[in-house]
Structure 1
Amino acid sequence: MFQLTASDSWTGDFLAEQGLISLKQLNEASDLVGDWGSTLPDVLLARSWIDADVYYTTLASRFGMDFVRLGDQPLDPALLSPDLVADYMRELTVPWRERNGRMVVATARPGPEAIVFVRENWGPSAEMVVTSKRDIQTAIQKVFSEHFTHAAVFDLAEQDPVMSAQTVFTPGQLFVGWGGITAAAAGLALWPVFTLIALNVLMSIFYLGNFVFKGILIWAGGTHQHIRNREIESAVRMLRDEDLPIYTVLVPMFREPDVLPILANALRKLDYPTSKLDIKIVLEEGDDETIDAAVALGLEGIFEIIRVPPSQPQTKPKACNYALKFARGEYLVIFDAEDKPEPDQLKKVVVAFQQGGDKVGCVQCRLNYYNRDENWLTRLFTLDYALWFDLMLPGLEKLGVPIPLGGTSNHFRIDVLRELRAWDPFNVTEDADLGIRMTQKGYGVRLVASTTFEEANVSQSNWVRQRSRWIKGYMQTFLVHSRRPIHLWRSTGALGVLGFVFFIGGTMLSGLLNPLFWGIFGLWAVTRTTVFNDLFPPVLLYLSLFNLLAGNGLFMFLMMLAPFRRNWLELTPFSLTVIWYWVLMSIAAWKGAWQLVTRPFYWEKTHHGLSRHTAGEVAQAVREQQAQA
């Protein structure tokens, strides 16, 4: 069990004597130091029991050091190395200036650890001054802004170009595509009926394989994870807070000031030592509205605002790449602006990493919606997510098929994330791409039964914008990872390739093809035309009817089963209306395909805060923050 160091004890007594904290706060903070395995300053600042400027000026006086504000007396950039930024951020100690031939180092943690760090890096003659944690964070961002902006955009493309979506179509892919179109055109000109039958056979077999594969996934996922979940829950109860590592939380936001209080309140409720949370609100530098809202909230010391300099492409993965350079944690998680993770999620993930070993690079948690009963779309979206995260992804894990990650609540080992060059800023569904890329690099993805609740889209036009971006990203991911089919086969196995084709390729291709087959069936049903008879010989006709009736009926039935695990049975009847949801999916697929050609890297913004629940969620978050203060 951790105890107060002599330095912390002296500092705490001094702060209490000066009336800067109460004896009750000192006693409670001292207990938390032991419970969390943390330091007294981290606890006091994390709880906002003392003003940061007051604390650091007092600290400087206590150690007989000068206090400097790096905003007024900036760092000398020539003394800093980009390779040591992670060390600077972890130790909160950074070279400041040279004075009289001696290095002067600024620290927000004066004490024995800082002295050792300074001597190891700048020698025993180095002097020390005190500054604030926030000053160090802001100053480091300013010095390395240009360098890290370039890395955030081009690191993957320069170091592992074959894995980057910066090149949309390679010459080989263009040649194969041109060859396929030419062959089809020649076939239609010379043997039209035979060619159309051949194409029909290929598409029908694809549909059948897609139905069967996803049915197997759901069967496998329905019986998976129960034993592991019980083991994780048991292990969580045995965890000691003092043994937990620092955890970085990235929250990329853009023009979303309204939902910021919901997010901040949800993160405060995480069952994790507050002083071991490294929370970074990642904002675009020109997003003044959200930046001003974040500053006005008066966020505690565990929150840090990362301002991402303007550059293209302006995407979420680029922003996360930039913020990753300043991360202090051993693990890292992405949460979206409107997310409400279950409080024990981080602890469950820590246990999952410990049980999984070094080759588990990511843990994916489940996603679903807190406004699921708001309208028809939110109900169908909830059914879709329940099927995806509660049944299909567990099936992928059980079968050892690469898992396309969700856009939020994916937790990473930071060392693995940095080894893989993090996210692809040119891929607009960067999470799915990273899941496939992680598997090809030899790292596994595990699932944990902890849910993050989000705001479901309440607007069909907004939903189409979001889904078209996702499908466009799936198209980018398919293009990237099909460039080297032999490598894909060797790195993921036959089942992995099959899963990649049906899960990534099937998701995008079915949306594109469905309108064609719906149109043929509708025209035949209305007119009873015989024009299609030659294209559907008996065996193919039966197969097509099976796909249409049995395949779609199966998916409708599975949508009915999806909410049973969460006991949301009131949603089941809405699965009968899923056909319109599929129509919206096809609209989004064609929009995504068009943008792949015309605007491949355009990040189509999904607007949050449209739900009628939002105002109530914000008001509740503000009340709880005021009560805590």
Structure 2
Amino acid sequence: MSSALHNALLPTDLGLVEDQAASTGRQAPLALEVGFLARHGYSSGNLRDATTFAGLTGTPVDEFLLKYSLIDETAFYRALAAELSVPFLSVPHLSPKARYPDSILTGMAPLAGGGFVLAPRGPAIVHLLKNRRAPGGPLAIATPSSFTRAVFRDRAKAIAHHASNALPDRKPHLSNRDGLTTSQIAALSALALLASFVGVSAPAIALHGLALSMALLFLGMVVLRLAASLLHNPIEPAALPPRVDDADLPVYRIIAALYREKNVAAKLVAALMRLDYPRAKLDVKLVLEADDKETLNALTATGLPGFMEIIIAPPGYPRTKPRALNVALSLARGAFTVIYDAEDVPESGQLRLAVASFAAQPPDVVCLQARLTIDNTDDSWLTRLFTIEYAALFDVLNPGLAEIGCPITLGGTSNHFRTATLKELGGWDAWNVTEDADLGIRLARFGYRVADLPSSTWEEAPSTLKAWMHQRTRWMKGYMQTCISHSRRPHQTLSELGLWRFYGAVVVTLGTVLSALGYPFFTAAFLLLSTSVPTDSIASAWLAGSRTLFVLGALAMVAPALLALRRRGLIQLAPWVLALPAYYLLVSVACWRGLWDLVFRPFWWSKTFHGLGRTSRFRSTRRGERGSGR
């Protein structure tokens, strides 16, 4: 195990650990939680080395051994059962009194035939070895993995219900599960009736009233976009924070929800293996759906390391990404939690930078949004435009809005959270197909803030129009669902956010939807107005204001894009900015499709397939770094 220990540590940030161990001049005593292994055929010298390394990384020795795959999980717990002279259960059968997630978090549950089964970790192993008696009945030992599977098997319905309904059962007004309320339907009906009446009896007044209300909303969008563009938010931190010793780093939970992702399963595992963070302090949960055997087989074939675990979400409704995320969130032990998508490749230092950023932020900053950037830019004209859109959003607009203090709609990945706060908020709304937008607004309503994390995560964009349209239709439908959820109690929302943040939240949600729905009509109206001649001073002023707003809107579309391309080092894509007006026409089509979906299949999750990219900016960057000797 000694050479295996050395080899396992090399890919991580433990290069100085051996020097630190040598500088102490002492040999670490054999830890009790692994010392018993010496009586079951394992080298005491290797166990002592592991104890030294574990102490320097600040983790229990048993977790160190297991997460670095230095000992097989089944072998470890069989030896523990033999040491305690109790049965080892490969497949424990639990009593109906077992509870989720409490049983998994405590590592203890009653057995169907009486007694208890334990899957102890760290201090629990020490306590068990010292006392050597059952907590109130016959005792058996199981591995944490098989114990978790047993709880999921026996409590499947309860787990599925909790993942889907924990938030709406507790705070129904914050979830999209129940759709439009009676009061919302009544208000919309009254508004439609009023608009119809005024439109027939006084069409000019109706037209001007509609134009004025839209102008106020779109003016807010223009001002926020231009204001965000004026702020300096480079894609990398001006100076890296001091490197924190591994022993002082907190446990970090990583959740990735995967469905039909066999093409990128190995890529995701490789990307997580490259993270510059001690593996003993990583807790990776890969959440799969019960019928997704292909992804399960692909992950199994990679030979997952000990710090990664596959969680099979029990069948339930709706089948959405946020439901799967909620399944894993209930089991979170780490101080921080980050969400990654199946195709993601985060920068290796992202977790360390996030820990340092959280430490430097006030307590009300509970989420950090990393920068998302498109990897397969050169696949097609569509991926080039997607790259420009993402660069503008994540390198200019979102960082700027966060600095201003405006609520932002999160990206669907690379969101870093304080775990306790995320649990307090109820996790994600399983009934919203753009759960990131909803959560961003919900964070603001509870008085929390989101900050920028200047670290990149590479993503794969759909390269065909069909795939892009399916994905964007889902996103726009989710924005509409977010508008529904947070408009149920407008007075309460206004009170929670305050006037200006309320206005900002309306701009980034309802403004996004209405601008997309109306884009072709507003453009056509502008072109018609450009050829018209005003007949009086009022008409002249109105026309001038309309033209000015339209021109400013075009500037607010182009300026963040050009600035983002400069920051990202992609200025060669600048000519493609001229195609953005046509691109946003496609966004409008997707938004109208999303409205249809909202009515007829509100919870349908249109799957985006990954692993189809033909080009890679990330691979090119890595080749360049190797070639330059960096």
If the length of structure 2 is used for normalisation, what is the TM-score? Answer: 0.86
282 and 224 in structure 1: CA distance in 2 versus 1, 3 angstrom threshold:
same
Structure 1 CA distance for aligned equivalents of residues 327 and 537 of structure 2: 54
Secondary structure of residue in 1 paired with 2:378: coil
CA distance in 2, matches of 1:251, 1:44: 24
Q: Hey, what's the Cα distance between the residues in 2 that align with 1:118 and 1:173?
A: 61
1:85 to 2:110 alignment? no
Match of 2:331 in 1: 326
Q: How many residues align?
A: 595
Q: Is the 8 A contact 1:372 1:382 kept in 2?
A: yes
Give the letter for the 2:463 counterpart: V
Q: 1:29 to 1:284 in 2, by over 3 A?
A: same
After superposing the two structures, state which structure 1 stretch, 544-553 or 582-591, moved more: 544-553
How far residue 590 of structure 1 moved from its aligned partner, in angstroms, is 0.8
Where in structure 2 are the equivalents of 1:1-400 lying within 5 Å?
3=28, 5-7=30-32, 10-11=35-36, 18=41, 29-61=50-82, 63-71=83-91, 73-78=92-97, 80-82=98-100, 84-85=102-103, 87-88=105-106, 92-96=107-111, 103-109=115-121, 113-115=125-127, 128-220=139-231, 222=232, 229-230=237-238, 233-235=240-242, 237=243, 239-400=244-405
Cα distance in structure 1, aligned partners of 2:595 and 2:122: 56
Q: State the Cα deviation string for residues 225-268 of structure 1 (Å, max 9, x = none).
A: 99xx457x324x1x121122222111101111110001001111
Post-superposition offset of 1:299:
0.9
Q: Secondary structure at the match of 2:241?
A: helix
Change beyond 3 A, Cα 1:560–1:28: farther
Counterpart for residue 623 of structure 1: none
Q: What amino acid maps onto 1:445 in structure 2?
A: V
Q: Deviations over 1:518-547 (max 9, x none)?
A: 23345677xx689x9899922222222223
Q: Distance in 1 between matches of 2:590 and 2:529?
A: 26
Who is 1:605 aligned against?
Answer: 607
**Unaligned segments of structure 2, at least 5 residues:** 1-19, 22-27, 623-630
Aligned-residue offset at 1:428: 0.9
Taking the TM superposition and a 5 Å limit, the aligned residue runs for 1:518-533 are 518-521=523-526
Tell me which amino acid in the other structure corresponds to 2:152. Answer: Q
Contact 2:368 2:453 in 1 (8 A): yes
- Matched residue, 1:626: none
Alpha-carbon distance in structure 1 between the residues aligned to 2:481 and 2:77: 49
Whether the 8 Å CA contact 1:4–1:33 is kept in 2: the answer is no
Cα offset, 1:298, TM superposition: 2.0
Structure 2 CA distance for partners of 1:119 and 1:144, relative to 1, 3 Å: farther
Deviation, structure 1 residue 14: 5.7
Q: Tell me, what secondary structure is at the counterpart of 1:495?
A: helix
**Residue aligned with 1:600, SS:** coil
For 2:32, the aligned partner's letter is S
- Partner SS for 2:416: strand
Deviations along 1:186-208, whole A, 9 cap, x unmatched?
12221223322332333334333
Distance 1:185 1:485 in 2: 24
- Distance between the aligned counterparts of 2:94 and 2:129, measured in 1? 18
Aligned partner of 1:624 in structure 2 is none
What residue identity is the alignment partner of 1:470?
W
State the distance in 1 between where 2:187 and 2:73 align: 61
- 1:438-459 CA-to-partner distances (Å, cap 9, x unmatched) read 2212222222111111112211
The question of whether the paired residues in 1 share the 8 Å contact of 2:34 and 2:47 is answered with no
TM-aligned CA deviation for residue 477 of structure 1: 0.9
TM-score by length of 1: 0.87
2:563 matched to 1:561? yes
Assess, with a 3 A threshold, how the Cα gap between structure 1 residues 48 and 572 changes in structure 2: closer, same or farther.
same
- Alpha carbon RMSD of aligned pairs, Å? 3.2
**Which amino acid in structure 2 is aligned with residue 106 of structure 1?**
L
1:500 aligns with one of 486, 505, 510: 505
Q: CA deviation at 1:324?
A: 1.8
- Give % identity: 35
Contact 1:93 1:107 survives alignment (8 Å): yes
Secondary structure at 2:379 match in 1: coil
| 2:259 maps to amino acid | F
